[in-house]
Amino acid sequence: MPEGDTVLQAARRLHAALAGRVLIRAELRVPRLATADLRGRAVREVVPRGKHLLARIEGGLTLHSHLRMDGAWRVHAAGERPRGGPAHQIRAILGNAEATAVGYRLPVLDLLRTEREARVVGHLGPDLLGPDWDPAEALARLLADPARPVGTALLDQRNLAGVGNVFMAELCFLARVTPWLPVGEVADPAALIAEAKRLLEANRDRLDRTTTAPGLDRRQRLHVYGRAGRPCPACGTPVRVAGETHGERGRERPVYWCPSCQRGPARSGGTTPGK
């Protein structure tokens, strides 16, 4: 599931493969961009901004993509067969003499003037893994609506950019609050933000995301996320899960929590598999 750490890693791979090289193949397979021709232009750099990817291209252009839940960029050697999914899921191909980057299932793909990037990322809060990180600004944004559930506030990229559903669940567990506790009732919201920074920094170079301790078995790398029905690592109570509809395209996301360790309201209908 793409979050700030995953997107940063994707940007690094794309930058290594494309930056400083001239495009000899460029296909944007969305109707409104089908006639755009980027061949002959060099890619200047590929940078992340929260969960967004910005490929800046010679001539003042930026190819903007967002992975959301299912999108992915795959990089392979020039001439190698793409291996990230069926051809009908390909939305973008950027290739040079050495490498080819293929974007699959990209729900967001825009081509805009670099000077207008703020139109697509200007609303974002401070980036937890970016050069603009400002904990005081992130704290002010997070607490702007004290009655808002802390989980929702953490997921709102306008507050701080980079937290997704996995980190949200883990952060709430570490703070010992349920995701539905009003953010204004969190005992130490500054510590919550500092923990978010620590977790994303710790995972920026890891292939296997972990919020517990490095080197553990895959099933033990997260405290509550994906552990519905399994014992809480702190108290042994079965972890619960509830479905919650997210505003972005109305998609339902699973929300995990420990009913014993985490204080605050719980989502009605939350279940423990097998019960």
Question: Which residues does the annotation mark as catalytic?
Answer: 2-3, 51, 253
Cα separation of the two ends of the chain:
27
Is residue 114 within a helix (H) or strand (E), and if so which, with residue range? none
Q: How many CA atoms lie within 13 A of 178 on its CB side?
A: 16
- Tell me the backbone φ, ψ of residue 239, rounded to 5 degrees: -70, 140
Q: Which two tokens stand for residue 61?
A: 């252009």
Spatial contact of 46 and 15, defined as CB atoms under 8 Å apart: yes
Q: Where are the beta strands (DSSP E) in 84-136?
A: 90-95, 99-104, 108-113
**Rounded distance, CA 197 to CA 182, Å?**
21
